[in-house]
Structure 1
């Protein structure tokens, strides 16, 4: 039986690039070499696409620390276009998918790119144009999930509880005294400031008093033109993986995970450093609340139109479940939450990847009639 050619797409210019490299390494290590011919494709920070020509094992050195050995999230280290064979010049008119195909026909792309360009619909649109099947959500769902403001607006229309928040542009932030007063009246302090379109807790600040608001907004604006200021929720942080049946497409919730960070919130370091947080599966919740949280996770997945998988981050405050955001390409590192939840449901990591690949191929068969 011939093996399926699976391209693992990782890296990219996003501040979450280093997590993406670790996810890609973990995926390549887990894919069954008897079933799959794995082609690693790395997108460098400058936009070049390269075939590193390295095995999964040799990627480990780059991906062995919370910052992937390239500095803090968002740093520009390790972006040389000469590291491997350049496939795509950083030009809009030469995307180079045809050069990837010269390596042999690609049956499916397993997307391991987090954050902007990889998780926001950009690379999904590229693959749609190229006619290559890929894992995960499509263009629209990816874009909506990455945009916290738009997704929360949709959740509100569908009776999915979200935190109280204000959307703040640079222009709105220019009148700082008025904004400080509005935050005090609408949300109160402490509050949370975060970029509108980024994950992994990058750019997130807890603001304890009005004097610290402007500095927190500066951090958030470093990652985009829109920031969210939202209420600080005192409660239990949980996450729920949603996995679709690869044949029917029907989504179901995986066991809930309760997150107990050592710090005040689930930071970038806590997410990707072993032992930096306690993760309890199943979450220690009353059955009624756990059932409600699982149902809301599936509903959020459906409202955005997600496919294959997602991870829905939530808080439980009293008896209320509050949805924070949906991650369409959750981390797949050794400490990541979705693989933990799948394992608790009896699905080991290689089998999880098999399901994602099968789902992508099934979609292609259905679309081609």
Structure 2
């Protein structure tokens, strides 16, 4: 059987956004890891950068399907997916429209709230109708300032008083790209889903003075079985509400010991590196990296039987606590 060409689309650091350089580094690592895994699966990886020559490259490559190593604005806006849809090239992950809506935290939270799912109280700073001081005051203190479209907690800051919010609002000007939300205390759990079904979860602990930096990760989280089932159901409801039922997705949830859980965001283009949360959670669930890639391509590309990986079975894995490293998710 002739090996199929599978595209690996890797973004470049051209996006002018907070954390763009970090996203580009993650994309390069993801692209390299995905290409290596495709080769081991007996497929032919074709690496393409998502620059102005992408359309020409797609037409020349004769691709059977594509994997996206594009995170942050590069993948989250849905423009790459829209081009693939135009060229009728199948790809792993949600459609362009679904991706763009899910990556927009404000729109995503509106959709989740419509489906009666818990989200933080949020206001938009700047824009045509900036919030009044009274509306901001209703959020209470402290508040969290974050980009409306962003990933890996880049640009996220904790604001402790009205003066800090006023300064942030003035800096935002007429832009509607900053959100202010009520700070919710709790443990952050990132739930990984594969084709709309929970694969597992990772608890992350962030540095207090830099929320973009992760100090430790624990998989599976140190929660009760009923708590894990509850946040898993919440994550599945969230992905269904947003249409994130193709490929891998990640739902970030805050778990409080006495209050209800809160959905922070749903990531339509999660990091696919070997060192990323998706791969680590898959490994804890008994799914090796090559088997994860094969599962992502299910229904799009047939893997030769002689190289198809098998899924190992693990029962009740003990929690694994990993300190953050340069290769860890940021």
What TM bracket, shorter-length normalisation?
0.7 to 0.9
Total equivalences in the alignment: 293
Q: Would you say the 8 A contact 1:289–1:321 is kept in 2?
A: no
Partner of 2:227: 289
Q: 1:21 aligns with which of 28, 45, 53?
A: 28
Deviation, 1:37, is 0.8
Counterpart contact for 2:271–2:277, Cα < 8 Å: yes
Counterpart in 1 of 2:310? none
Q: Which residue in 2 is equivalent to 1:338?
A: 278
Paired residue for 1:6?
Answer: 6
Corresponding residue number in structure 2 for 1:77: none
Q: 1:167 aligns with which of 105, 118, 124?
A: 124
Q: Within 5 Å, which residues of 2 pair with 1:83-122?
A: 88=53, 97-102=55-60, 104-122=61-79
What SS does structure 2 have at the residue aligned with 1:239?
strand
1:317-359 deviation digits (Å, cap 9, x = unpaired) = 2241111111111112343111111111111111111111224
**Distance in 1 of aligned mates of 2:68 and 2:173:** 27
- Find the residue that maps to 1:320 and give its secondary structure: coil
Runs (4 or more) in structure 1 with deviation over 4 Å come to 217-222
Aligned residue among 250, 264, 282 for 1:311? 250
Aligned residue among 176, 194, 211 for 1:225: 176
Maintained 8 Å contact 2:144/2:181: yes
Aligned to 1:196: 148
Q: Cα gap change, 1:37/1:300 in structure 2, threshold over 3 Å: closer, same or farther?
A: same
Q: Distance between the aligned counterparts of 1:347 and 1:30, measured in 2?
A: 13
> How far apart in 2 are the matches of 1:253 and 1:99?
35
Structure 2 gap ranges (5+): 303-330
Partner deviation per Cα, 1:212-259 (whole Å, 9 max, x = no partner): 22444577779x633210011111111100112xxxxxx321222111
Deviation of residue 98 (structure 1)? 3.9
Contact 2:124 2:176 in 1 (8 A): no
Whether the 8 Å contact between 1:3 and 1:34 is mirrored in structure 2 is no
Equivalence for 1:261:
206
Q: Cα gap change, 1:347/1:266 in structure 2, threshold over 3 Å: closer, same or farther? A: farther
Verify the 8 A CA contact 1:242 1:310 in the aligned structure 2.
yes
Which of residues 93, 100, 103 in structure 2 aligns to 1:146? Answer: 103
Distance 2:207 2:74 in 1: 31
Larger displacement relative to structure 2 (32-41 or 152-161): 32-41
Q: Which of the pair has the greater relative contact order for Cα pairs under 8 Å at 6+ separation?
A: 2
Please state whether the residue corresponding to 2:144 is helix, strand or coil. Answer: strand
Asked if 2 retains the 8 angstrom alpha-carbon contact of 1:135 and 1:359, the reply is no
Using the alignment, how far apart are the partners of 1:220 and 1:340 within structure 2?
37
Q: TM-score, normalised by structure 1?
A: 0.73
Q: Which residue of the other structure, out of 233, 237, 245, is the alignment partner of 2:188?
A: 237
Could you tell me which runs of 5 or more consecutive residues in structure 1 were left unpaired when the two chains were aligned.
49-87, 89-95, 245-250, 271-276, 363-369
Q: Is the alpha carbon distance of 1:258 and 1:355 closer, same or farther for their aligned partners in structure 2, counting shifts above 3 Å? A: same
CA distance in 2, matches of 1:343, 1:33: 17
For the 8 Å contact 2:156–2:211, the answer to whether it is kept is no
Contact 2:125–2:172 under 8 Å retained in 1: no
Contact 2:193 2:200 in 1 (8 A): no
Asked whether the equivalents of residues 39 and 45 of structure 2 are also in contact (C-alpha less than 8 Å), the reply is no
Offset of residue 264 of structure 1: 5.3
